[in-house]
Structure 1
Amino acid sequence: MTHQDLTDARIPVTVSLEELQNGTVSLSTLEEAFGPNSLGLILVSGLPEKYSTLRHRLLSLSSFLANLPEEELRKLECPEAKWLVGWSCGKETLKDGQYDTLKGSYYANPVQSFIGTRKAQQMYLDLPEYNSSNVWPDRDVLPNFREVFLEMCSLIINVAAMVAKACDRYALENVLGYKPGYLESMVKESVSTKARLLHYFPPTENNTSVDSASEPATVEDDWCATHVDHGCLTGLTSAMFADESVPLPSMSNSLASPPYVGELDQSPDPKAGLYIRSRSGEVTRVGIPRDCLAFQTGEALEVITKGKFKAVPHFVRGIAPGCGGRVARNTLAVFTQPNLWEMIDENRDFATFAKEIIERNH
């Protein structure tokens, strides 16, 4: 297992893909990963061989995307979808009403079916953020972006379905009235799943207030403010740290195979990265090995399991200025979410629930 950038980081509960496939993950392991005293996060090791290649390629493309000329990025914006489709930067508020300008995001719905998507569009005309068509970069601008993005998301969703199946076993034992197979079915069949490719811009003296000597509990969550996801299970890749003081390779003559971005062995700032605020309020830096996927719980799953699994408050701490180079951070999050018409409690379908969150953050 490759434990890059994991100095002083806590490695969450880890299970193998084989264990998930065989249904041999114990309920006590799931309790340790997702229960009341947990980090609310599990790692999956032993992924298919193609995972490493897909990860490096897609996260490289995140740097190419974020560094496109402004006129190309504007072509990818979708304001009618509240910037939750296509390119978004500076449109989201997560802390004290401040707009988040320290990262750029590319959103797409990786799962679409004629029947399911049509149903969502007909039932929820007022939710274009879930019903709008994806906005893909032109192939001559970012070759193979769409193909690599969708293949990576498909792999993550397939693994998420196995994690969901294990969660279903736990919930049947611990949640009164839980519907058998609910979470696995939702992950496999939902057309509301949303993927977000993230690019955290290199820090400058003007856009960060991180004090490298400070303890994590006292620093500002400058690269991504403290929040919880509002879906069920969020699949996360490990982050790629790339030094963007080195010019990006040319995309010319690269239609068949876009060039990679050079990945640093580790972050130049050992305190930078993903942090989770535990149930007790403790702040912990979490390490995701390069060859693993992480899955964490969101608000919808907390509601569905009546609080047995709790949403994970988390944030990303940026690299302190002066730590070397212009280092960016790239990662991918896939938010598995119920179909808009599915009820998550006695009074709300997921569409109603999602509107509350979107209005809070945008």
Structure 2
Amino acid sequence: MAKVEKPEAKYDVGWSCGKETLANGRYDTLKGSYYGQPIHNAELEAKARRLYPNCPEMTSDNVWPDEGVLPGFGPVFEQLCHLIVDTAALVARSCDRYGVAKLEGYKDGTLEHIVRTSVCTKARLLHYFPPPPLRSDDQRPDSAMAIDDDWCATHHDLGALTGLTCQMFVDEAVHTPHATPDSSGHLPPLPELDCHPDPNAGLWIKDRSGRKTLVQIPRDCLGFQTGEALQLITRGKFKAVPHFVRGAQPGKAGKIARNTLAVFTQPNLWEMVDDERDFARLAQLTLDAAL
């Protein structure tokens, strides 16, 4: 995987696994990520590189696997991201109407402009590895193993709006992910499970009172949640949504992997998120804390 890693971009472009630290200080080895920036504008990309030469995680070119390894991966990745961004723009338009009605001085079209034009929008294709088997010396009861955010720690997103696909669960004990292209050069699809055997496994969000809700996005739908940049831009009228991913209880995990795509629509680096910080500064502080 070294060919598609970019350590100079803080592993925030291309493949990344085991580079991000969790709240307890351990490196996160429970999931692998593939990052790309799907929105392109040569003039704005050049401006970002010129103004922010020390921000390669937001200004580096995408890197894709060789065609012989994953045929068509890059174009299909960006095509799906564009669909999500176009839909996010419609969501943003409704958010802007709320901002105009509720926030003094809010400029109509603020969020839709960010979503449609920013070259800093970041997409993250996520693969959550099947949980490791319990050690023979681990005698803790199931209740002690029911850690809320064991698959992905509780956090909120950095950007404005995050677009999410549904969760795709695959039983890797039955369908190995190490496939080879068929005669047409395409990789055969992996059969999905209708749901995870543990009904509590998956994406959870917390509301303003701290109440937790399991989110089930249907296969033919997208979900959207708000991030830190939007919270700052709207001075708290929209709140960044805390969320986490819960793994399975012992005995219900098997070798089931979780897959999803998140598209983080983010302001351009020079756009201000509050009276003192542009988005570049906000992103730098957040990324430095995660590594």
TM-score interval for Structure 1 and Structure 2 normalised by the shorter chain: over 0.9
Question: Which amino acid in structure 1 is aligned with residue 60 of structure 2?
Answer: S
Report the Cα distance in structure 2 between the residues aligned to 1:248 and 1:89, rounded to whole angstroms.
17
Report the Cα distance in structure 1 between the residues aligned to 2:183 and 2:217, rounded to whole angstroms.
31
In the superposition, relative to structure 1, how do residues 324 and 343 fare at CA in structure 2: closer, same or farther (>3 Å)?
Answer: closer
Q: Are 2:77 and 1:149 aligned?
A: yes
RMSD (Å), alpha carbons: 1.9
Secondary structure at the counterpart of residue 141 of structure 1: coil
Gaps of 5+ in 2: none
Secondary structure at the counterpart of residue 245 of structure 2: strand
Q: TM-score, normalised to structure 2's length? A: 0.94
Contact 2:17 2:33 (8 Å CA) reproduced: yes
1:299-326, Cα deviation, whole Å (9 max, x unpaired): 0000001101000110000123432641
Q: 2:47 aligns with which of 104, 119, 137?
A: 119
Q: Give identity over the alignment, percent.
A: 57
1:13 alignment counterpart: none
1:20-45, Cα deviation, whole Å (9 max, x unpaired): xxxxxxxxxxxxxxxxxxxxxxxxxx
Report the Cα distance in structure 1 between the residues aligned to 2:128 and 2:17, rounded to whole angstroms.
10
Deviation at 1:342, TM superposition (A): 0.5
1:155-209, Cα deviation, whole Å (9 max, x unpaired): 00000000001100000001111111010011000000000000000012359x9
Aligned residues: 287
Report the Cα distance in structure 2 between the residues aligned to 1:324 and 1:213, rounded to whole angstroms.
12
1:268 alignment counterpart: 197
Report the Cα distance in structure 2 between the residues aligned to 1:254 and 1:296, rounded to whole angstroms.
40
Q: 1:291 aligns with which of 213, 220, 235?
A: 220
2:210 alignment counterpart: 281
Deviation at 1:255, TM superposition (A): 5.1
1:306 alignment counterpart: 235
1:177 alignment counterpart: 105
Contact 2:170 2:191 (8 Å CA) reproduced: yes
Q: Are 2:252 and 1:323 aligned?
A: yes
Deviation at 1:94, TM superposition (A): 2.7
Contact 1:204 1:321 (8 Å CA) reproduced: no
Report the Cα distance in structure 1 between the residues aligned to 2:9 and 2:282, rounded to whole angstroms.
17
1:232 alignment counterpart: 160
Report the Cα distance in structure 2 between the residues aligned to 1:96 and 1:303, rounded to whole angstroms.
27
Q: TM-score, normalised to structure 1's length? A: 0.76
